[in-house]
Structure 1
Amino acid sequence: MFDETDQLSVNALRALSIDMIERAGSGHPGLPLDAAPMAYVLYSRHLRVDPQAPNWTNRDRFVLSAGHGSALLYSLLHLSGFPTSMADLQQFRQLHSMTPGHPEHGLVAGVDATTGPLGQGLGMAVGMAMAETHLAAQFNTPQQQVIDHFTYVICGDGDLMEGISHEAASLAGNLKLNKLIVLYDSNDVSLDGATDRTFSDDAQQRFTSYGWDYQKVSDGNDLAAIDTAITAAKAATDAPSIIEIKTTIGFGAPKQGTHLVHGAPLGQSDLAVTKRNLGWQAEPFTVPAAVKQRFQKQVQQRGQSAHQQWQTLLTAYAQAQPALAEQLQQALTQKLPANWQADLPQYQMGTSEAGRTTSQKMIQALAAKVPSLWGGAADLASSNKTDIAASSSFSATARQERNLNFGVREFAEAAAMNGIALHGGTHVFGGTFFVFSDYMRGAIRLAALQHLPVTYIFTHDSLAVGEDGPTHEPVEQLMSLRAMPGISVIRPADPNEAVAAWRLAMTTNDRPTVLVLTRQELAVLQGSLQQPNGVSRGGYVISPQQHSQAEGILMASGSEVALAIKAQQQLRKFGHDVVVVSMPCFDRFMQQSAAYREQVLPQQIRRRVSIELGVTLGWERFVGLDGLSLGVDTFGASGPAAEVLAEYGFTTAALVAAYQKLWRADHRLQTPIQRSVI
């Protein structure tokens, strides 16, 4: 079944990979040398991809969770006919190259996920498999299986040590994601040494306890055995599959089997010895014609044929199921139905509602119009209010349902959301308490890196949580997420801002959106009614001054905007005419024109106060060095919310006193006040 050309192809992958690493002067040769056989069998005999159409919807997905082995992936892409040229391989790990140190989705065609932080690739693959089975349940008919593909993963010992692997594998087993197949490169070595110093898990017992199908291949160079195992895994109907493949890290190298070949170039001497041991005689970055022909036949032609067959199937599907076909096309292109905003909740003065409750109403209204919307929470749906009332729980027996139960697994939740977004075809959201966003942070960062339009619903947004105390009161989380590039963090001040925030999330396709919502009720503010576009601009004047020129600016986000407006009214009684600015989204505000920012925060008004129930670090951008930031630079406390807020100075009287103190200090100054920086 496998011949000399197949073995030559395996060694071509190995040789290209170590040539890349040697030329770059950095990289990880251990995995490419030991995992090349399993990767070759996967690509040559099983993986359905079309290099001419890398984003074909019904292609198989492949995630190299052990992203440090990127040289192997780039070698596979090059030989398979993807637009990764030999010149690209020669620029491995160089600035602005198409072959970065770890795989980057969106930069390199054929890379289905950005990986490198170990374990997250497996988590994202779980999300991809969830999306595949959900879309299949929604759109497939007995005659036409328009969504029908596998998600494959190569992971290593390090991936399975990471805590997220336990969360993600447990979830996948519970959901019986039988289209998920993991090839476990089991070489018993990690970066610092042998894994038995820290890792002695029995993979078979571990994964079978999760409900997975388990197989073992004792010789990682046995192509036929690997092929047989993958074939058997594809036949599994009620469980995800893991194939433990025993390998020798750095196979063929003088230091094979040790951590010394994990993460550094072999060196010219050992490189030459390795190639001799592999029987490789070609010059560096040279591929024998027989290997090129084999890859063309086994990968390119097979993938193109599968793609063409699917296109024919899709044409017949559109004729037989025009309504479903239109809905599928809309979902795959991330287009919203024309009437998606028809029945969104509206709020007038005199109404009060918690941010999480407004979000709940938005989810119901959106779900009724946008069938591609689905999501859930980390065992907090009843508190985050994320359930879609008209749907039940997505499960192994109800794939079409739209409520995702992630369990108490915040990290896996966020990684799965990334995988769902990478797969395409749905709009996904997920929730937890805001303070527990820390558990998700690594996956949120990868969402931002990959420009994924996922929506996070983080409730219980501040010290107003009250009785649950400092373990559940977020303080640093808000500014911490604002500091992350490529993400919009929105903290609405009232129900209208919450509606606008959801609108913004639904129409954003190039970045994650974080909705930071209250448990306590928020009253409708007049300014939000008058300026419906204020949230999309990130910041706006929500309560203007009485006269043509304000003497100061109060700026706030979330529930503190109402407090600022109350303070504004009290300050007028003392002859202070100030303007109140709502700042729901820092990054959106900074993307506005300089003229607009000047309109909201005029440079000549230098007496500025920020009010927010979080750390003050970061507000100096807007208040300037001469301004005042009122916040929480310690942890919170347990007690009734009103008492906790009063203890930390978040009352009208305290805010008025703070502004007056700033005003008096300004009038004592004999030199001009330093200008603020916007």
Structure 2
Amino acid sequence: MTTTAPPGLSRTGNEVVTAARLLAADAVEAAQSGHPGAAISLAPVATLLYGKYIRHDPQDPHWFGRDRFILSCGHASMLLYAQLYLTGYDLSLDDLKNFRRLGSKTPGHPEYGITPGVDATTGPLGQGFAMGVGMAMAFAHQRALYDAEAPTGDSPFDRHVWVLASDGDLEEGISYEAGSLAGRHQLDNLTVLYDRNRIQIDGATDLAWSEDVVARFEAQGWRVSTVARASDGDIDITALDDILSAGGDHRPHLVVLDSEIAWPSPTARGTAGSHGAPLGAEEVAGLRRELGVDTAPFDVPDAVLDTAREAVTAGAELHRRWDGQMEQWATRNPARAADLRRVVDRGIPGELNDSLPRWEPGTMVSTRDASRDTIQVLAEHLPELVGGSADLADPNRTAITSSGSFLPEDGGRTGRNVHWGVREFAMAAAVNGMVLAGGTRVFAGTFLTFSDYERAALRLAALMKLPSIFVWSHDSIALGQDGPTHQPIEHLASLRAMPGFTSIRPADANETAAAWFVALEQDGPAGLVLCRQPLKTLGIDPDRIVDGVRRGAYIVSSDSTADDPDVILIGTGSELELAVDAATTLRGNGYAVRVVSMPSRDLFDRQDDKYRDSVLPPQLRARVVVEAAATFGWGDIIGDAGVAVGIDHFGESGPATDVQRACGMTAERVVAAADEAMSRSRK
């Protein structure tokens, strides 16, 4: 971080802060939509951070050595956009004028990949906080892994995470999970500035909230500082500067900012109305009078812009120094440096595919056990692979046996097994943060039914196109006696409905190894859906399986020389075995059968028509899909004559085989469905 003061730490008299406040007000007014209050009142805080504390380079928003800033209260997006424009990022005044307009670089909430300088998509409150925790965890792990010997402050891996959070962020349950996690891991590279303005859409926060936030975070293992308001009502920015300059200890830092929303607007400050609606032309004019300026909307004087854009020169110098540090480190550590380059580029070692474990046909193994064995091979070839489960490492089979636990004690930050605790939502969001940090491949495990707890974070992963990997075991009703509370039914259909998310449900051990490899290839999030019960390893040529899984579906067997079988049986996951058994019966009855494995609807839907038609020829209307889950969403695959064999009700508690039989997951039912489909197709 820099050591010189940013341009101006005074309050209303500071011209850069004034420009930031007015840009926020003007942009919301022009859009006639937005959240001006926090963006106006927090402008001094953002100016201080971007001018003095955040290590960044406006000319290289993707610089690996930069700090990260997350606006967890993403509704105040104009606070961030104003800083990015003023400090010289690739954001123009016209971009600010187009705030919230279709196709602009300034969407209503910050979006990763849309606006240069935005490090995470935020808006769903609390998730930015949790992603910040994940980023800090990734940075701590990389520091220990690559440069543990360097004194603090002397390593190119010394990076800090800054989060700006609101009352709403800390009301969300995910902030309790993530805050507890950060305290346990002593993430001293994390600073959260909490804007305690005590206002939200419904009015004062005490309508819904009365807890002692300071005591809460202290109990979770955080260092807490408080910045009171200055005598004129503004945030005491000098006091904040003193606190941030003072250094800390081995704890994450929460800085409580007592503020007045929309200060210094003449009548809107301190009101719920200023939270989520334009101030109005008269109020914005009054704000200008309070600030002592008479500029036109979006008018930033050249002298003010020149002052703010000293950040460009400062950032370039920080970057140059860091490059020197990194060059010295690489000279001392050539092997680590070469590996880091591959990791940052997300390269997959060429030998990995050939190194995947293989199982002989007939071997009985659950896909969760096959996943466990595959993880060990992946961990050997991918030292950047880190993972863990929500207190389910053993039943999920996610432990990397060659590594220890990621913990702050006794050099444990090099450990690759993360103990997330029973915190599925924070786990998924923090995984997204770790992926956003770069240089780490991360997976997180739980039972498929508890993917519901993760769903909001899965959605953000898909929206940001993050290659996060989620491992879900205990799919379907075959987990048995845990009963319907733990037996997922609607979850697969729900995951498939999410744009950009890739779910893969392998059918046997060899498909599981391939599924892991394909998941690592994805440019977006992927979820592996695994079973608890042993499955027979099918006699499929292993050399065909990776490409088959990569395409989402492939032909397992077809006994028609004319390429026109009487019926196509399509199995996913554990039910492919039922399709294979049913095919044996149907062939004995004189029918020609094609069996198709479809481990991923998502991947199959992305194939071109030629490949899709080669697997499922349009003229072949007699089709059966078999999957131990809701049949919703299979209509386009089975068509007007096909039959979906599934479960459109919740499960039962009992031994797995009894529950499967009671729910109709039998080869006999598949045979009957095939007879019905063939009858329909003839009509």
CA distance in 2, matches of 1:339, 1:237: 44
CA distance in 2, matches of 1:290, 1:203: 41
The answer to whether 1:388 aligns with 2:400 is yes
CA distance in 2, matches of 1:135, 1:32: 34
Q: CA deviation at 1:528?
A: 5.1
CA distance in 1, matches of 2:244, 2:17: 17
Match of 1:362 in 2: 374
Q: CA deviation at 1:134?
A: 0.5
- The code of the aligned residue for 2:79 comes to L
- Residues 528 and 416 of structure 1: is their aligned pair in 2 closer, same or farther, counting only changes over 3 Å? farther
Q: CA deviation at 1:546?
A: 4.1
CA distance in 2, matches of 1:453, 1:85: 30
CA distance in 2, matches of 1:545, 1:163: 55
Q: Would you say the 8 A contact 2:461–2:468 is kept in 1?
A: yes
After superposition, give the CA deviation of every residue in 1:532-569 in whole Å (9 maximum; x if it has no partner): 21101101111213442201111120010010110011
Q: CA deviation at 1:628?
A: 1.0
The answer to whether 1:487 aligns with 2:501 is yes
SS in 2 for 1:271: helix
- Residues 665 and 336 of structure 1: is their aligned pair in 2 closer, same or farther, counting only changes over 3 Å? closer
After superposition, give the CA deviation of every residue in 1:37-81 in whole Å (9 maximum; x if it has no partner): 211111111111001111111111000000000011100000010
After superposition, give the CA deviation of every residue in 1:71-126 in whole Å (9 maximum; x if it has no partner): 11100000010001111111111111111111011111100000000000001000
My pick for the range that moved more, 538-547 or 146-155, is: 538-547
The answer to whether 1:119 aligns with 2:126 is yes
Match of 1:675 in 2: none
- Residues 227 and 632 of structure 1: is their aligned pair in 2 closer, same or farther, counting only changes over 3 Å? same
CA distance in 2, matches of 1:121, 1:98: 20
- The code of the aligned residue for 1:34 comes to S
Q: CA deviation at 1:666?
A: 4.6
The answer to whether 1:300 aligns with 2:312 is yes
Q: Would you say the 8 A contact 1:139–1:146 is kept in 2?
A: no
The answer to whether 1:101 aligns with 2:137 is no
Give the alignment partner of residue 469 of structure 1, picking from 461, 472, 483: 483
SS in 1 for 2:14: helix
Match of 1:654 in 2: 669
CA distance in 2, matches of 1:66, 1:376: 28
SS in 2 for 1:421: helix
Q: Would you say the 8 A contact 2:388–2:443 is kept in 1?
A: yes
Match of 2:625 in 1: 610
Match of 1:435 in 2: 449
The answer to whether 1:196 aligns with 2:206 is yes
Q: CA deviation at 1:665?
A: 4.6
CA distance in 1, matches of 2:588, 2:349: 50
CA distance in 1, matches of 2:662, 2:257: 59
- Residues 366 and 72 of structure 1: is their aligned pair in 2 closer, same or farther, counting only changes over 3 Å? same
Match of 2:176 in 1: 166
CA distance in 1, matches of 2:363, 2:188: 48
Match of 1:142 in 2: 150
Match of 1:228 in 2: 242
The answer to whether 1:587 aligns with 2:602 is yes
The answer to whether 1:402 aligns with 2:412 is no
SS in 2 for 1:358: helix
Q: CA deviation at 1:277?
A: 1.6
- The code of the aligned residue for 1:172 comes to A
SS in 1 for 2:309: helix
My pick for the range that moved more, 618-627 or 634-643, is: 618-627
Once the two structures are superposed, the pairs formed by residues 655-670 of structure 1 within 5 Å of their partners are: 655-667=670-682, 669=683
Match of 2:137 in 1: 130
Once the two structures are superposed, the pairs formed by residues 507-546 of structure 1 within 5 Å of their partners are: 507-508=521-522, 510-527=523-540, 529=542, 531-532=544-545, 533-546=547-560
- The code of the aligned residue for 1:650 comes to M
Q: CA deviation at 1:252?
A: 2.2
SS in 2 for 1:440: helix
Q: Would you say the 8 A contact 2:9–2:238 is kept in 1?
A: no
CA distance in 1, matches of 2:38, 2:87: 19
Q: Would you say the 8 A contact 1:547–1:577 is kept in 2?
A: no
After superposition, give the CA deviation of every residue in 1:397-452 in whole Å (9 maximum; x if it has no partner): 21111101110000000000000000000111110000000000000000011111
- The code of the aligned residue for 2:194 comes to Y
SS in 2 for 1:527: coil
Aligned alpha-carbon RMSD (Å): 1.4
Q: CA deviation at 1:504?
A: 0.7
CA distance in 1, matches of 2:321, 2:679: 77
Once the two structures are superposed, the pairs formed by residues 313-324 of structure 1 within 5 Å of their partners are: 313-324=325-336
Would you say how many aligned residue pairs link Structure 1 and Structure 2? 664
SS in 1 for 2:480: helix
Q: CA deviation at 1:142?
A: 2.3
- The code of the aligned residue for 1:249 comes to I
Once the two structures are superposed, the pairs formed by residues 629-640 of structure 1 within 5 Å of their partners are: 629-640=644-655
Q: CA deviation at 1:366?
A: 0.9
- The code of the aligned residue for 1:487 comes to F
SS in 2 for 1:492: coil
The answer to whether 1:457 aligns with 2:471 is yes
CA distance in 2, matches of 1:259, 1:13: 21
Q: Would you say the 8 A contact 1:15–1:280 is kept in 2?
A: no
Unpaired runs of 5+ in structure 1?
Answer: 670-678
Match of 2:272 in 1: 259
Unpaired runs of 5+ in structure 2?
Answer: none
Match of 1:421 in 2: 435
SS in 1 for 2:352: coil
Once the two structures are superposed, the pairs formed by residues 20-39 of structure 1 within 5 Å of their partners are: 20-39=27-46
Q: Would you say the 8 A contact 1:65–1:116 is kept in 2?
A: yes
CA distance in 1, matches of 2:243, 2:447: 42
SS in 1 for 2:583: helix
Give the alignment partner of residue 557 of structure 1, picking from 551, 562, 572: 572
SS in 2 for 1:376: strand
Q: Would you say the 8 A contact 1:496–1:528 is kept in 2?
A: no
Normalised by the length of structure 2, the TM-score is 0.95
Once the two structures are superposed, the pairs formed by residues 8-19 of structure 1 within 5 Å of their partners are: 8-19=15-26
Percent of residue pairs identical: 45
CA distance in 1, matches of 2:543, 2:59: 51
